[in-house]
Chain A
């Protein structure tokens, strides 16, 4: 018996003479404890509608509760998931899908084609790829209980990928009555189709969420990787414990109060490494891309010369070392916009970010560009360590470059509001802000809003660069991998030539777990299938 156990027992004994039998804690057997996996997520699960709220944490929890028609595996290939088979017409305009037999929602009702149609219809307006499908859609109808048909105006070869990607929002399948909710209104009922049930009565937003294995779920026969294959849940229950303070999460993992921590702070990794009960590994091999966006609408960054001067001076190593410290396994230079290690990765046109940094040449370019010392309103959210760190490095960079920096220290909520304003910087607008993109979102242009350059329709900063858009269109229409790679090369070159945004480098993060837990995968989100605990 350990000391805490002794104290517990001693207090229990002391409580009995007081007639306080009801005050003693219920005993939790060793086996029962092993059937509950306690997980510390990256953030608070503040809502539970993966279409309405597109935060990663909502997607991660939702992946346990709702299943998908397709799911990508660790090679980023879409595999059948709820779909048993599909048939594509020779002209590529008609897709007919058949659902697997025996699929059930958590209320034990069967999953029908009409549920799928309603779910896909709700998902499309919220997802960039979904919007593209909707733009070419003729009709999406349920043919019978297990069959639905999609007819298109022109071929959309990446339909399977769209339905199985990991990027948020994922196309989750919900009962029709729930999926009929407006996509901009939050659902109020959480009836899932996936391997775990959401225990709504135990949900305390900001503190805890609990999920219970759904025995009616029928996993596929294949081994489970990422969102594909058999989603076999090895524990009875998964509990999410929200811990805003990384030091507390670290201590809780060390003391065995939790089993798995999704994103340990880099500074705490050495401490965790010293603990022999804890294992550490890279969480997501697709990592993250750091970035700052420049406002293409207003001076000084409406001037291509100024944008290129900043890119020429930028040293990604400065950003990455500030973010992840001296652990060289955690970062890479990134002379481009796409995720390293993925099939479409390219450095085409990336010369401006490579090699020794030449501040003098950058200053010369800045002078030639006609920069007239306009203030650079640099919005930096201080409550997010990644944005704060990058903002500090950028402010120093711009000052060394001789620019007039107006450093606006604020929080993420305010950044979110201000970056949407198109006013000039002096009238409530902005010149630049910092963020980062999950590498999973940057493997191709499908859901990569940040690389789009379609003016008013583009992401904040509103770059308008037809060459980028043309190359993205070529990728969507590409008939094979070679054509895809050629198109992505063009996207990268055009985006860098015109500085759609400034990539500050590629970085990875760790995940940590107690050694009595096994089966944890590396991936863009925590996958709970196959994870067991002894």
Chain B
């Protein structure tokens, strides 16, 4: 197992290298000019050119790529063209809100979606099943920003239960932290709940047809025990896989959710950086997201061995 983990971690190196080359090349060929944005709308072409030179944006691709790779290898993500702050500092400022949002969404989604899927499978064809599937369709279909606006209107503006926007660090207190995240997590969680609930239902339906389930019932196991101990445990591998894949979904959704709820997270940092062509920040954030995604997949693979002892690496 240990050897497998080491091998997988080593395998992330070429993956990250390919991502780095891809991201750098893409940004190089993409249109847009940070110097023009910095100079402002009233700047003359000469001003823009001077700024471009001072930022080193006029140098050849290989020189810039080489310097960037050299810095990355030393753990230096570079400095933002616009803010003049180290990219690592900017990412550090934004990690907590995004991580908080994603973790809370994940907890919320798993807590709600798995029981929903189990119950829907158990009560297949009934009103409960149809309601769960109807909710899943709705969750997939309604965009995150629409859900976000509706939630903000009802729970913040009309009922005044929760704030409209913003983020409070967890060291300012549990409730201030939580109250800013409830609506975004619910908005973001909609798609995720729908996805997990559907997969759980489908997998559970398959498992509930298995002989060992009939055996468990014949032995007199209770309904809860059959569903959650015998069936769900055996249905867990595809569910966990989907949860892992869904992290990418969460990252994408966080971009929109953070904008709607004015949360200063990595999603907004990414969008702002792309619109301004802040190359070092875009590169740093994409590298981070890629790394997180690779790491999550590794964790999921390790989790398989805990869920299903038959799986060995």
A248 touches B165 (CB 8 A): yes
A47 touches B160 (CB 8 A): no
Binding site for B on A (CB under 8 A): 2-4, 7-8, 11-12, 15, 20, 22-26, 44, 46-47, 49, 52-56, 126, 128, 167-168, 182, 184-186, 188, 204-208, 241-245, 247-249, 251-252, 254-255, 257, 383, 410-414, 416-420, 435, 437, 441, 447, 449-450, 457, 459-460
B54 touches A23 (CB 8 A): no
Q: Does B115 contact A (CB under 8 A)?
A: no
- Check A251/B42 contact, CB under 8 A, given A7-B161, A23-B173: no
User: What's the Cα separation between A252 and B262 when bound, in Å?
Assistant: 10
Pick the contact of A413 from B32, B43, B159, B269 — CB < 8 Å? B32
User: What's the Cα separation between A25 and B173 when bound, in Å?
Assistant: 5
A4 CB to closest chain B CB, in angstroms? Answer: 6
B160 touches A2 (CB 8 A): yes
A15 touches B175 (CB 8 A): yes
Pick the contact of B156 from A26, A53, A255 — CB < 8 Å? A255
- Check A3/B160 contact, CB under 8 A, given A47-B84, A52-B38, A420-B33: yes
A26 touches B160 (CB 8 A): no
Which stretch (B121-129, B191-199, B272-280) binds chain A? B272-280
A5 CB to closest chain B CB, in angstroms? Answer: 9
A47, A128, A207, A248: which has the most chain B beta carbons within 10 Å? A207
Note all chain B residues with C-beta closer than 8 A to A47. 38, 82-84
- Check A457/B44 contact, CB under 8 A, given A248-B262, A416-B32: yes
A11 touches B165 (CB 8 A): no
User: What's the Cα separation between A25 and B171 when bound, in Å?
Assistant: 9
Note all chain B residues with C-beta closer than 8 A to A383. 275
A340 CB to closest chain B CB, in angstroms? Answer: 20
A413 touches B157 (CB 8 A): no
Interface residues on B, range: 35 or more
- Of the A-B pairs whose beta carbons lie under 8 Å apart in the complex, a sample of 16, sorted by A's number, is A8-B179, A15-B175, A24-B175, A54-B42, A54-B43, A55-B40, A56-B40, A205-B85, A206-B272, A251-B165, A255-B164, A412-B37, A413-B31, A417-B32, A447-B42, A449-B44
Which stretch (B4-12, B45-53, B132-140, B239-247) binds chain A? B45-53
A15, A206, A420: which has the most chain B beta carbons within 10 Å? A206
B174 touches A420 (CB 8 A): no
B259 touches A204 (CB 8 A): no
Note all chain B residues with C-beta closer than 8 A to A459. 42, 44
Q: Does B238 contact A (CB under 8 A)?
A: no
Q: Does B201 contact A (CB under 8 A)?
A: no
A54, A413, A419, A437: which has the most chain B beta carbons within 10 Å? A413
B260 CB to closest chain A CB, in angstroms? Answer: 6
B54 touches A182 (CB 8 A): yes
A243 touches B165 (CB 8 A): yes
A202 CB to closest chain B CB, in angstroms? Answer: 10
A178 CB to closest chain B CB, in angstroms? Answer: 13
Note all chain A residues with C-beta closer than 8 A to B259. 244-245, 248
Q: Does B153 contact A (CB under 8 A)?
A: yes
A245 touches B44 (CB 8 A): no
A184 touches B50 (CB 8 A): yes
Given A3-B159, A241-B166, A257-B165, 16 new contacts (CB under 8 A): A11-B178, A23-B174, A25-B168, A25-B173, A46-B276, A47-B84, A53-B39, A53-B40, A186-B84, A247-B260, A248-B152, A248-B165, A257-B163, A413-B37, A414-B31, A416-B32
User: What's the Cα separation between A24 and B44 when bound, in Å?
Assistant: 53
Pick the contact of B176 from A25, A186, A414, A419 — CB < 8 Å? A25
B229 CB to closest chain A CB, in angstroms? Answer: 30
Closest to B265 in A: A207
Note all chain B residues with C-beta closer than 8 A to A207. 262, 264, 268
User: What's the Cα separation between A143 and B166 when bound, in Å?
Assistant: 51
Note all chain B residues with C-beta closer than 8 A to A44. 272
Note all chain B residues with C-beta closer than 8 A to A255. 156-157, 160, 163-164
A252 touches B164 (CB 8 A): yes
B42 CB to closest chain A CB, in angstroms? Answer: 5
User: What's the Cα separation between A255 and B161 when bound, in Å?
Assistant: 11
Note all chain A residues with C-beta closer than 8 A to B94. 204
B16 CB to closest chain A CB, in angstroms? Answer: 25
A243 touches B262 (CB 8 A): yes
B33 touches A413 (CB 8 A): yes
Which B residues from 135 to 193 make CB contacts under 8 A with A?
149, 152-153, 156-157, 159-166, 168, 172-176, 178-179
- Check A413/B161 contact, CB under 8 A, given A15-B175, A168-B42, A206-B264: no
Which B residues from 81 to 108 make CB contacts under 8 A with A?
82-85, 90, 93-94
User: What's the Cα separation between A12 and B172 when bound, in Å?
Assistant: 12
Note all chain A residues with C-beta closer than 8 A to B54. 182, 184-185
User: What's the Cα separation between A252 and B163 when bound, in Å?
Assistant: 8
A435 touches B32 (CB 8 A): no
B56 CB to closest chain A CB, in angstroms? Answer: 12
Closest to A456 in B: B45
B202 CB to closest chain A CB, in angstroms? Answer: 36
A412 touches B275 (CB 8 A): yes
A54 touches B40 (CB 8 A): yes
Closest to A169 in B: B40
Q: Does B211 contact A (CB under 8 A)?
A: no
B149 touches A8 (CB 8 A): no
A251 touches B40 (CB 8 A): no
A204 touches B264 (CB 8 A): yes
A417 touches B36 (CB 8 A): yes
Pick the contact of A46 from B45, B82, B261, B264 — CB < 8 Å? B82
Note all chain A residues with C-beta closer than 8 A to B168. 25
Closest to B33 in A: A417
Closest to A54 in B: B40
B47 touches A126 (CB 8 A): yes
Note all chain B residues with C-beta closer than 8 A to A435. 41
A417 touches B31 (CB 8 A): yes
B39, B161, B165: which has the most chain A beta carbons within 10 Å? B165
Closest to B159 in A: A3
Note all chain A residues with C-beta closer than 8 A to B82. 46-47, 53, 205
Note all chain A residues with C-beta closer than 8 A to B45. 420, 460
Note all chain B residues with C-beta closer than 8 A to A2. 160
A130 CB to closest chain B CB, in angstroms? Answer: 12
Closest to A247 in B: B149
User: What's the Cα separation between A29 and B261 when bound, in Å?
Assistant: 25
User: What's the Cα separation between A502 and B25 when bound, in Å?
Assistant: 38
User: What's the Cα separation between A22 and B84 when bound, in Å?
Assistant: 35
A87 CB to closest chain B CB, in angstroms? Answer: 32
